[in-house]
């Protein structure tokens, strides 16, 4: 499955921002780029961000591996592993060293009661 979002960034120069995600079993291929449309001609620029997310589940626990081909943020390591555990009351995300990346707790009938992260 593919999801693509287009946003008109600058109307005067007809510049569009495009976010695309291709979903495969256990894999997300994410790309972000800009393109100019003149009449029937679309001129895409090189992707400013390209991220591959590999996921797998084991019961209520899972792991996500993040690999940036292009546009990795300076504050994040490439090839990063993120462990996720959750149930109907909480969700916890840990890095490869077991440090908390984010934590959420939920009200019994939906809604987030507490949310916290490292940054």
Q: Where are the domains of the chain?
A: 2-117
Helix (H, G, I), strand (E, B) or coil at 91: strand
Q: What tokens does 77 get?
A: 């390591």
Provide, rounded to the nearest whole percent, the portion of the chain with pLDDT above 70.
Answer: 98
> pLDDT category, 119, cuts 50, 70, 90?
low
Question: What is the mean pLDDT of the segment spanning 4-16?
Answer: 85
**Quick one: tokens of 47?**
């992707």
Sign, Cα dihedral of 109, 114, 117, 119 = positive
Residue 90 has what pLDDT?
85
In tens, the pLDDT along 47-84 reads 999 999 999 998 889 999 999 999 999 988 899 999 99
The token pair at 71 is: 């546009």
pLDDT (0 to 100) of residue 52: 97
Residues sharing a CB contact under 8 Å with residue 67, sequence separation 6 or more, in sequence order: 51, 52, 53, 54, 78, 79
């Amino acid at each position: 499955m593919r999801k693509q979002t287009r946003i008109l960034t600058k109307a005067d120069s007809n510049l569009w921002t495009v976010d695309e995600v291709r979903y495969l079993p256990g894999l997300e291929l994410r790309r972000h780029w800009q393109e100019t449309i003149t009449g029937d001609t679309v001129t895409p620029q090189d992707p400013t961000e390209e991220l591959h997310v590999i996921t797998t589940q084991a019961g209520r626990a899972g792991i996500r591996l993040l690999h940036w081909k292009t546009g990795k943020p300076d504050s994040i390591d490439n090839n990063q592993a993120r462990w996720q555990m959750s149930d109907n009351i909480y969700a916890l995300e840990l890095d490869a060293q077991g440090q908390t990346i984010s934590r959420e707790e939920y009200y019994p009938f939906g809604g987030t009661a507490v949310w916290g992260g490292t940054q």
